[in-house]
A and B are shown apart, each in its own frame.
Chain A
């Protein structure tokens, strides 16, 4: 079932989201609230990966702009994700420019990555991870990889849409997302041990 539910998070809601956006564009504020509830978690997750603890504030700014410019938007539910993510990204970059904060922690990930291959605990590590831990991992990635992963996985954009948000070629974004996820997988495979503790099952490698 995981396959069916998973493929691109948020896509399950895209029909609903598209309808809500269309109604909101006709002036329905309840529909706008619906769209907010559908999109906000993804935007917030994305923004956390870029600006960390300031994500709530940046998201708030982004929503002011979204609310103001909604009439300009054209597209469906998936399009609205991309459009709002673009706005959120611009607000985040503005924020970073003001703060002069680099959302990078170049600490120990590389060392972790270079450790010998993951043990059988790779599986169990992935039962669940805390938001803080995921955040730490994602923000440990190079910026382009982190953003690509976040847009693809957390916001649920497809390749071309993510590329448009980032203003890059789809191929570059796909590669960045791939590398980022690969790296995260490696880290989780190792570090999961300390988080969850080993279980008995698992494919020994």
Chain B
């Protein structure tokens, strides 16, 4: 032991000689010799048997009493920290990445739907004749019957749009500011005046229900439409 210490010491001593100033904080002080020396001096060479016997007896008692099935508290968890943290941060980074992808996808998709639906609604509202006369023959019946759902099938979407706006109108009517937005102006315009909106809406609703009662392509389409109606509602508010 002494041999080893002095062996290792020479190397350490040179480095650390002038009061150990040479070694950095990582090397902790005056080099390995001092540390080894301290450790050797502070740690008793032999363990007393009595203490061991007591500890083992306590262990046995705890084991037999089932104390060793106790739950691990935070302060009892001494598993290597850094690795866990790296793994966790890696996982966090990954999930963040995935989440951002997903959110980005959703946002992109939403951009698409609101874009197309506002197209549809602007088309619908731009020509009041279409919305006031939904019973007119559809210029493109094939697109309505194609059943893509996503495709702007004009008549039902316009009707739904109007219906949704009418519903929303009832809620917003009390708020003067909201009615100044473009969507509401269009609705009012279509109805032919602010006071006529209620009647216009009622008429629309009647038509709508009558139409959805009919079997056929319209019905199939209206089944896929409530979501779109909502979208249109949103789009209208955005306007």
Contact = CB atoms under 8 A, between A and B. Distances in A.
A188 interface: yes
A129 B79 contact: no
Interface string B26-63: 10111111111111111111011001101110111111
Interface centre among B35, B47, B54 (most CB of A within 10 A): B35
A203 B13 contact: yes
B67 A185 contact: no
Nearest to A130: B41
Nearest to B27: A178
Contacts of B6: 2, 127
A188 B76 CA distance: 38
A20 B48 CA distance: 19
The dominant DSSP class at the A interface is helix
Q: How large is the interface on B (under 10, 10 to 19, 20 to 34, 35 or more residues)?
A: 35 or more
B25 A174 contact: yes
A40 B13 CA distance: 30
Contacts, number: 230
B24 to A, nearest CB: 8
Given A79-B79, A131-B41, A203 B17 contact: yes
B72 A182 contact: no
Contacts of A32: 55-56, 59
Contact of B59 (A9, A67, A138): A67
A72 B20 contact: no
A41 interface: yes
A65 to B, nearest CB: 9
B69 A1 contact: no
Given A181-B34, A182-B20, A72 B29 contact: no
Majority-rule SS of B interface residues:
helix
Interface stretch (A44-52, A94-102, A103-111): A44-52
A67 to B, nearest CB: 4
B35 A117 contact: no
B33 A128 contact: no
A129 B41 contact: yes
A56 B62 contact: no
A106 B189 CA distance: 93
A133 interface: yes
B78 A83 contact: yes
A68 B76 CA distance: 13
Contacts of A70: 59, 62, 68
A55 B16 CA distance: 32
Contact of B47 (A41, A83, A203): A41
Interface of A: 1-3, 5-7, 9, 24-25, 27, 29, 32-33, 36-37, 40-42, 44-46, 48-49, 56, 59-60, 63-64, 66-76, 78-80, 82-83, 86, 117-118, 122-123, 126-131, 133-135, 138, 149-150, 152-154, 156, 160-161, 174-175, 177-178, 180-182, 184-186, 188-189, 203, 205
Given A68-B58, A160-B81, 17 more contacts: A3-B32, A6-B8, A25-B68, A36-B56, A42-B43, A44-B44, A71-B67, A83-B78, A128-B41, A130-B41, A131-B42, A133-B41, A174-B25, A174-B28, A185-B16, A185-B19, A185-B30
8 contacts: A29-B59, A33-B55, A37-B52, A48-B42, A72-B76, A74-B72, A185-B31, A205-B17
